C-alpha cells in the first residue's frame, strides 16, 4: 500500500491510497491519518480510486482517521469509492457514517 | 482424559452403533421435551386456577410465581437442547492460513503462564504466538523472550482511557498482529498440539466466525468440591445452542475469524452512533416541551412558533433516521432548521436573547458532550430550568455535538465484563455462524479455593446480567428466534436466586407455622405434579447421558445468595453507573476456611433443620394430625439440605499439601 498525502489548502489534505487496504496495512494507515491530523490537516479526503480491495480492518483504519479528524473539529471524507469498497461500506452500514463523494473536488467543497 | 464419551455403545441389547444410539437419544430428547412441557402446563394450569390457598395469599402467589419461573426455565432449556448437534470429526484444516495464538494474562505466576506459552509455541499448525500481558510485568516479558513467544502490552493510546479489562487487552493485540484467525487462550489453559488442526477446517465455510471448544480442568480434586467442571454446559447445552447456530464464545479455547470481529465491530459502531443521535434528539424534545409549558403570555406570540418549528424538526430528524439516511444528512438538515427557528426569535427580541445567552456557558456544551455517554446526567440536563430562549440555544448547541461523534470501533464488545458472550451475540446478530466442537483440546486449571471459585461464578453472572440489561437478546435486531431463546436460556438461569429462596422457605413456613400455599395436598395434586417431576428428571438424565451433573445441580441451587448479589449489582451498574467490584480471578490458592462466605446457606440449613425437628416432634406428640403434608415437607426440606450441604464441604475443603 502506498500512502501519499497532498495538502489541499491550509487545513485540508488529500490522502491517496494505492493497493489493498486490508489488515496488513490497517495500523499504518491509521497512524498516518492521525499524524496528518496532528500536523494540522483537519479535513482529510481519502482518494479511493486506486484501492483494489478493502476489508473490515481497512475500514476500521478509516474510522480511526475519522475519529482523529472529528476530535480536531474536522472531518474525514471518502472520494471515488470503487465497487468492492462500496459493497463493504454497505455491508457494514458504514456508509451511513462515511458518505462517499463522487470525486475529490466535491469532497473538498462539501459542507 | 475425557470423562465420558458422547454415546456409549450398548451392543449387547440391540445391535446399534454409536450413530444409531446418538440418533435415538436425540429423538428421545425431543419427545421428552414436549412431554415435559405438556405435563408442566397440565400441572400449572390446575395450580393457578384451583389450588392456590388464598388464606395465605402472599405465600401462595410467591410459590406459584417461583413455579412459573421454573417452568419458563424448562421451556427455554427444552428449546435449547431440542436440536442438539453432535458434529463428530471436524473437516481437515486447510494449509497456509495465517494464524495468531493469543495468551491473555494479567497477574498470574510467571511459571504457570510459561507452561501455557511453551505448549502454545509447540502447537503443530504453523502460527505466531503472542503473550498479551496486561500486567506489564518485566519477568513475564523475559519469560516470553526465553520461550520464543511474542510479547504485547498496552500501547500508549490507552493511557488515560478506560482499559476495558480483557476485551481491551485483546483489542490492543488485534491492532498489532496480522493473523486472519486468532486462537485465544487464558493463561492457565494449556493447549494440545493438535488444537488448530482440529478446528481450522470449520472456517472453510466463509460464514463461520468462531469455533469454541470445551474448557476442561485437570486440577480438580475427586468429587469436584467447587463444581468447577461444566460437563453439562461444555456438552449438551453448547451442542443444543449449536443446533440453533447460537454456540457461545467463552473467552478461551476458541478460534476466531478476525474479519468477523472487525465487520461486526463496525456494524455496532454505526448502531452506536445512531443511538447517540436518537438520544440527543430525545433530550432536545424534552427541553423544548418544558420550554413550551413555561411560556409566559407575553412571550407566547414571538416564541411559540419557533418552539413548534423545533418540535417538527426533531420528529422529522427521527423519521429520516428510520428511513436510513446518512447521519450527516440528518444532522445537517436538523441544524439548518434549528438555525431558522433561532432566527425567528432573534427577529422578535434581540435584547432578551443577549441576556439569555449569557446564561449558557461554554461549560454546558462540554457537559452535554459528556452526558451523551451517561443516561442519568443527560436526563438531568434536560430537566434543568431554563428560559424558553435558553432552551432554543441549548438545542442549537446539541447539534454540532451530534455530528462530532468522536468514537472508535470496537471489534470486541465492551458492554459487559463477559465480553465473550456479548461479542458472540453481536456476531450472531450480524449473520455470522458459529461452531461448538466437543473435543477437549486444552487442559485448564480451575480455582482451588472457595473464594476464588465464587468470585469467578459471580463475575460470569454479573456479566451475563449486564448483557441481558444492555443488549437484550429478545430485542437485539438480527437474531433468529432460536438464537434469542438460546441466549435467554443462559441469562434466565441467573435469575434463580429469589425463586430458590421461596422454595427453601416454603417447607419452613409450613412445618413451623402451618402455612400451606396450596389449599390441600389432595390426590389430584400428586398425580398432576409427580409425572411432571419424573419426566423432568428423566429428560435431564437423557440430556446428561452419563456426564456427571449432580455437582452442578447442587451449586445452581446452593449459590442462591450469589445469584441475587449478581443481579442486584449488575442492575445497579447498568442503571445507576455503580461499580461492579470486579476482581480478576486469582490463580494461586488463597489460604483459609470460608464458612463466612456461605453464611446465608448455613442460616438456611439451620432453619430447615429446626423446621424438620419441629414438624416431626409435633406429629409425634400428637399436636398435629396432618401427617402426609408434614412428611412431604420434611422430604422437601431434607432434599434442600442435601443440595445446600455442598457449600459446607467446599468451605471446609483442605487441599492435600503440595510437595
Look at residue B404 in the predicted model and tell me its pLDDT. 53
Q: Which triple of cell numbers denotes residue B357?
A: 445567552
Interface of B to A at Cβ within 8 Å reads 175-176, 178, 180, 258-259, 262-263, 265-267, 269-271, 273-274, 324-329, 332, 403-409, 411
Separation CA B544–CA B452 (nearest Å): 27
Percent of chain B with pLDDT over 90: 56
* Residues of chain B with C-beta less than 8 angstroms from the C-beta of A26: 175
Contact predicate B113/B190, CB 8 Å: no
**pLDDT digit string (tens) for B535-550?**
999 999 999 887 888 8
Contact predicate B589/B449, CB 8 Å: yes
Given a cut of 50, whether residue B4 has pLDDT beyond it is: no
* Residues of chain B with C-beta less than 8 angstroms from the C-beta of A95: 326
Contact predicate A21/A51, CB 8 Å: yes
**pLDDT digit string (tens) for B40-77?**
999 999 988 888 888 888 999 999 999 999 999 999 99
* Residues of chain A with C-beta less than 8 angstroms from the C-beta of B326: 95-97, 99
Q: CA torsion angle for B499, B505, B509, B510 (degrees, to 10)?
A: 80
Domain B99-257+418-470+485-491, CATH homologous superfamily name and number: Spore Coat Polysaccharide Biosynthesis Protein SpsA; Chain A (3.90.550.10)
Domains of chain A: 2-109 (3.30.750.24)
Q: Which triple of cell numbers denotes residue A64?
A: 480511526
Contact predicate B311/B285, CB 8 Å: yes
Look at residue B376 in the predicted model and tell me its pLDDT. 55
Tell me which residue in A23, A63, A67 faces B266 most closely, judged by beta carbons.
A63
Q: Which triple of cell numbers denotes residue A32?
A: 498516518
- Residue B490 banded pLDDT, cuts 50, 70, 90: very high
- Residue B458 banded pLDDT, cuts 50, 70, 90: very high
CA distances from A14 to A25, A108, B229, B580, B615 (A): 18, 9, 57, 46, 85
Q: Is B655 helix (H, G, I), strand (E, B) or coil?
A: coil
Total residue count of chain B as it appears in this document: 659
- Touching check for A67 and chain B: CB below 8 Å? yes
Separation CA B154–CA B107 (nearest Å): 15
Shortest Cα–Cα distance, A25 to chain B (Å): 9
Burial label, B13 (beta-carbon count in 10 A; 0-12, 13-18, 19+): exposed
Q: Rounded mean pLDDT of chain A?
A: 92
Name the more confident of B659 and B137. Answer: B137
A27 to B175: CB separation less than 8 angstroms, yes or no: yes
Separation CA B284–CA B97 (nearest Å): 51
* DSSP code of residue B224: -
Q: Rounded mean pLDDT of chain B?
A: 86
Look at residue B385 in the predicted model and tell me its pLDDT. 58
Q: Is B414 helix (H, G, I), strand (E, B) or coil?
A: coil
CA distances from B230 to B73, B216, B226, B227, B440 (A): 18, 8, 11, 8, 12
A93 to B327: CB separation less than 8 angstroms, yes or no: no
Range from A22-31, A56-65, B17-26, B202-211 carrying the lowest mean pLDDT: B17-26
**pLDDT digit string (tens) for B495-550?**
999 999 999 999 999 999 888 888 877 788 888 999 999 999 999 999 988 788 88
B178 to A23: CB separation less than 8 angstroms, yes or no: yes
* Residues of chain B with C-beta less than 8 angstroms from the C-beta of A92: 263, 266-267, 270
**pLDDT digit string (tens) for B258-314?**
999 999 999 999 998 888 888 888 888 888 888 888 777 666 667 788 888 888 999
* Residues of chain A with C-beta less than 8 angstroms from the C-beta of B258: 23, 57
Look at residue B382 in the predicted model and tell me its pLDDT. 59
* Residues of chain B with C-beta less than 8 angstroms from the C-beta of A93: 266-267, 270-271
- Touching check for A91 and chain B: CB below 8 Å? yes
A59 to B258: CB separation less than 8 angstroms, yes or no: no
CA B478 to chain centre: 18
Tell me which residue in B176, B263, B407 faces A92 most closely, judged by beta carbons.
B263
- Touching check for A71 and chain B: CB below 8 Å? yes
Shortest Cα–Cα distance, B430 to chain A (Å): 9
* Residues of chain A with C-beta less than 8 angstroms from the C-beta of B259: 23, 55-57
Q: Which of B42-56, B173-187, B583-597 has the highest mean pLDDT?
A: B173-187
Look at residue B659 in the predicted model and tell me its pLDDT. 41
Tell me which residue in A26, A56, A99 faces B266 most closely, judged by beta carbons.
A56
Tell me which residue in B180, B327, B332 faces A97 most closely, judged by beta carbons.
B327
Indicate the pTM of the whole model: 0.88
Tell me which residue in A60, A91, A95 faces B409 most closely, judged by beta carbons.
A60
**pLDDT digit string (tens) for B328-381?**
888 888 888 888 887 776 655 555 555 555 555 445 555 655 555 555 555 565
- Touching check for A96 and chain B: CB below 8 Å? yes
- Touching check for A59 and chain B: CB below 8 Å? yes
A96 to B258: CB separation less than 8 angstroms, yes or no: no
Given a cut of 70, whether residue B575 has pLDDT beyond it is: yes
Shortest Cα–Cα distance, B407 to chain A (Å): 6
Tell me which residue in A23, A64, A93 faces B267 most closely, judged by beta carbons.
A93
Contacts of B115 (CB under 8 A, 6+ apart): B190
A70 to B405: CB separation less than 8 angstroms, yes or no: yes
Separation CA B378–CA B287 (nearest Å): 11
Contact predicate B304/B349, CB 8 Å: no
Cα-atom radius of gyration of chain B, to the nearest Å?
Answer: 29
Separation CA B259–CA A57 (nearest Å): 7
For cell 505466531, the residue is B128
CB-based contacts of B324-329 (< 8 A; 24+ apart in sequence): B324/A96, B325/A96, B326/A95, B326/A96, B326/A97, B326/A99, B327/A96, B327/A97, B327/B273, B327/B274, B327/B277, B327/B402, B327/B403, B328/A97, B328/A99, B328/A111, B328/B403, B329/A99
Look at residue B629 in the predicted model and tell me its pLDDT. 83
Q: Which triple of cell numbers denotes residue B113?
A: 503462564
Given a cut of 50, whether residue B555 has pLDDT beyond it is: yes
Can you tell me the mean pLDDT for B2-11? 47
**pLDDT digit string (tens) for B155-169?**
887 887 778 889 999
What's the complex ipTM?
0.94
* Residues of chain B with C-beta less than 8 angstroms from the C-beta of A65: none
A95 to B408: CB separation less than 8 angstroms, yes or no: no
Contact predicate B482/B244, CB 8 Å: yes
Look at residue B386 in the predicted model and tell me its pLDDT. 60
- Residue B1 banded pLDDT, cuts 50, 70, 90: very low
Q: What is the interface size between A and B, counted as CB pairs within 8 Å?
A: 72
- Touching check for A109 and chain B: CB below 8 Å? no
Reference A37, options A58, A17, A59, A67; nearest CA is A67
Can you tell me the mean pLDDT for B248-258? 97
CA distances from B45 to A55, B420, B529 (A): 55, 39, 11
Backbone angles phi, psi at B188, to 5 degrees: -110, 25
Which stretches of chain A score pLDDT less than 70?
111
- Touching check for A13 and chain B: CB below 8 Å? no
Contact predicate B647/B601, CB 8 Å: yes
Given a cut of 60, whether residue B652 has pLDDT beyond it is: yes
Q: Give residue limits of the domains in chain B.
A: 18-82+495-558+592-652, 99-257+418-470+485-491, 266-403
Q: Is B135 helix (H, G, I), strand (E, B) or coil?
A: coil
A63 to B269: CB separation less than 8 angstroms, yes or no: yes
Q: Which triple of cell numbers denotes residue B618?
A: 409435633
Tell me which residue in A23, A70, A91 faces B404 most closely, judged by beta carbons.
A70
A23 to B327: CB separation less than 8 angstroms, yes or no: no
Reference B563, options B644, B475, B492, B650; nearest CA is B492
Name the more confident of B443 and B407. Answer: B443
Q: H helices within B494-622, ranges in order?
A: 497-513, 523-544, 550-558, 560-576, 599-620
Task: Please give the residue of chain A at the shortest CA–CA distance from B404.
Answer: A70
* Residues of chain A with C-beta less than 8 angstroms from the C-beta of B267: 92-93
Separation CA A107–CA A101 (nearest Å): 6
* Residues of chain B with C-beta less than 8 angstroms from the C-beta of A67: 406-408
Contacts of A52 (CB under 8 A, 6+ apart): A19, A20, A82, A84
Separation CA B429–CA B423 (nearest Å): 10
Total residue count of chain A as it appears in this document: 111
- Touching check for A72 and chain B: CB below 8 Å? no
- Touching check for A87 and chain B: CB below 8 Å? no
To probe the interface with B, which of A23, A71, A75 has the most B CB atoms within 10 Å?
Answer: A23
Task: Please give the residue of chain B at the shortest CA–CA distance from A59.
Answer: B266
Tell me which residue in B262, B327, B408 faces A96 most closely, judged by beta carbons.
B327
Q: H helices within B122-195, ranges in order?
A: 138-147, 165-176
**pLDDT digit string (tens) for B376-404?**
555 565 556 566 667 777 777 776 665 55
| Exposure string for B470-482, b = 16+ CB within 10 A, e = fewer | ebebeebeebeeb
Separation CA B324–CA B309 (nearest Å): 23
- Touching check for A60 and chain B: CB below 8 Å? yes
Contact predicate B278/B318, CB 8 Å: yes
Separation CA A96–CA B275 (nearest Å): 13
A64 to B408: CB separation less than 8 angstroms, yes or no: yes
Amino acid at each position: 500500500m502506498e500512502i501519499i498525502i497532498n495538502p489541499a489548502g491550509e487545513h485540508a489534505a488529500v490522502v491517496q491510497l494505492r493497493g489493498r487496504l486490508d489488515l496488513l496495512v490497517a495500523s499504518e494507515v491509521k497512524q498516518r491519518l492521525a499524524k496528518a491530523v496532528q500536523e494540522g490537516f483537519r479535513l482529510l479526503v481519502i482518494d479511493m480510486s486506486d484501492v483494489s480491495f478493502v476489508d473490515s480492518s481497512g475500514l476500521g483504519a478509516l474510522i480511526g482517521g475519522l475519529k482523529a479528524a472529528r476530535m480536531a473539529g474536522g472531518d474525514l471524507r471518502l472520494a471515488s469509492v470503487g465497487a468492492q469498497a462500496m459493497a463493504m461500506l454497505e455491508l457494514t452500514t458504514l456508509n451511513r457514517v462515511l458518505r462517499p463523494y463522487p470525486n475529490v473536488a466535491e469532497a473538498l467543497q462539501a459542507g | 482424559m475425557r470423562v465420558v464419551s458422547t454415546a456409549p455403545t450398548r451392543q449387547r441389547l440391540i445391535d446399534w452403533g454409536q450413530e444409531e444410539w446418538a440418533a435415538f437419544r436425540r429423538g428421545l430428547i425431543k419427545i421428552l421435551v414436549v412431554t415435559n412441557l405438556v405435563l408442566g402446563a397440565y400441572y400449572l394450569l390446575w395450580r393457578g386456577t384451583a389450588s392456590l390457598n388464598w388464606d395465605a395469599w402472599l405465600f401462595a402467589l410467591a410459590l406459584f410465581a417461583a413455579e412459573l419461573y421454573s417452568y419458563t426455565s424448562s421451556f427455554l432449556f427444552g428449546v435449547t437442547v431440542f436440536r442438539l448437534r453432535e458434529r463428530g470429526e471436524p473437516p481437515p484444516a486447510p494449509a497456509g492460513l495465517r494464524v495468531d495464538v493469543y495468551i491473555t494474562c494479567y497477574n498470574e505466576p510467571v511459571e504457570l503462564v510459561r507452561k501455557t506459552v511453551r505448549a502454545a509455541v509447540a502447537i503443530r499448525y504453523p502460527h505466531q504466538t503472542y503473550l498479551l500481558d496486561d500486567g506489564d510485568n518485566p519477568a513475564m516479558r523475559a519469560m516470553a523472550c526465553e520461550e520464543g513467544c511474542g510479547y504485547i502490552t498496552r500501547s500508549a493510546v490507552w493511557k488515560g482511557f478506560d482499559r476495558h479489562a480483557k476485551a481491551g487487552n485483546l483489542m490492543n493485540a488485534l491492532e498489532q498482529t496480522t493473523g486472519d484467525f486468532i486462537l485465544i487462550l487464558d493463561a492457565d489453559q494449556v493447549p494440545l498440539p493438535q488444537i488448530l488442526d482440529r478446528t481450522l477446517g470449520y472456517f472453510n465455510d466463509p460464514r463461520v466466525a468462531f469455533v469454541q471448544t470445551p474448557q476442561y480442568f485437570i486440577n480438580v480434586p475427586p468429587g469436584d468440591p467447587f463444581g468447577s467442571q461444566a460437563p453439562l454446559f461444555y456438552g449438551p447445552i453448547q451442542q443444543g445452542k449449536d443446533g440453533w447456530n447460537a454456540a457461545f464464545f467463552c473467552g478461551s479455547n476458541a478460534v476466531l475469524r478476525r474479519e468477523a470481529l472487525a465487520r461486526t465491530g463496525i456494524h455496532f459502531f454505526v448502531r452506536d452512533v445512531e443511538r447517540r443521535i436518537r438520544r440527543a434528539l430525545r433530550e432536545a424534545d424534552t427541553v423544548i416541551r418544558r420550554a413550551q409549558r413555561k411560556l409566559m403570555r407575553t412571550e407566547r406570540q414571538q416564541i411559540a412558533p419557533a418552539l413548534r418549528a423545533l418540535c417538527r424538526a426533531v420528529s422529522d430528524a427521527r423519521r429520516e433516521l428510520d428511513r436510513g439516511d446518512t447521519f450527516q444528512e440528518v444532522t445537517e438538515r436538523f441544524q439548518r432548521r434549528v438555525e431558522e427557528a433561532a432566527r425567528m426569535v432573534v427577529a422578535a427580541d434581540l435584547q432578551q436573547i443577549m441576556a439569555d445567552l449569557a446564561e449558557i456557558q461554554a461549560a454546558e456544551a462540554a457537559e452535554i458532550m459528556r452526558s451523551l455517554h451517561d443516561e442519568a446526567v443527560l436526563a438531568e440536563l434536560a430537566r434543568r430550568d431554563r428560559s424558553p430562549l435558553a432552551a432554543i440555544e441549548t438545542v442549537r448547541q446539541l447539534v454540532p455535538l451530534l455530528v462530532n461523534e468522536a468514537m472508535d470501533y470496537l471489534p470486541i464488545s465492551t458492554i459487559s465484563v463477559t465480553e465473550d458472550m456479548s461479542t458472540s451475540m453481536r456476531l450472531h446478530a450480524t449473520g455470522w455462524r458459529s461452531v461448538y466442537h466437543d473435543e477437549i483440546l486444552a487442559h485448564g486449571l480451575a480455582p482451588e479455593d472457595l473464594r476464588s471459585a465464587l468470585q469467578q461464578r459471580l463475575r460470569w453472572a454479573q456479566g451475563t446480567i449486564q448483557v441481558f440489561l444492555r443488549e437484550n437478546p429478545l430485542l437485539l435486531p438480527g437474531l433468529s428466534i432460536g438464537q434469542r431463546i438460546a441466549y435467554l436460556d443462559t441469562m434466565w438461569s441467573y435469575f434463580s436466586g429469589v425463586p430458590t429462596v421461596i422454595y427453601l422457605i416454603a417447607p419452613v413456613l409450613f412445618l413451623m407455622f402451618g402455612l400451606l400455599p396450596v389449599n390441600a395436598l389432595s390426590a389430584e395434586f400428586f398425580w398432576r405434579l409427580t409425572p411432571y417431576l419424573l419426566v423432568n428428571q428423566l429428560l435431564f438424565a437423557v440430556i446428561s447421558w452419563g456426564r456427571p451433573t449432580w455437582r452442578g445441580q447442587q451449586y445452581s441451587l446452593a449459590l442462591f445468595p450469589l445469584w441475587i448479589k449478581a443481579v442486584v449489582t449488575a442492575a445497579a451498574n447498568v442503571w445507576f453507573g455503580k461499580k461492579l467490584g470486579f476482581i480478576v480471578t486469582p490463580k494461586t490458592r488463597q489460604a483459609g476456611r470460608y464458612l463466612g462466605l456461605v453464611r446465608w446457606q448455613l442460616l438456611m440449613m439451620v432453619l430447615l433443620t429446626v423446621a424438620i425437628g419441629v414438624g416431626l416432634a409435633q406429629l409425634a406428640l400428637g399436636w398435629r394430625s396432618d401427617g402426609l403434608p408434614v412428611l412431604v415437607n420434611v422430604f422437601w426440606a431434607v432434599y434442600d439440605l442435601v443440595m445446600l450441604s455442598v457449600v459446607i464441604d467446599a468451605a471446609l475443603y483442605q487441599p492435600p499439601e503440595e510437595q
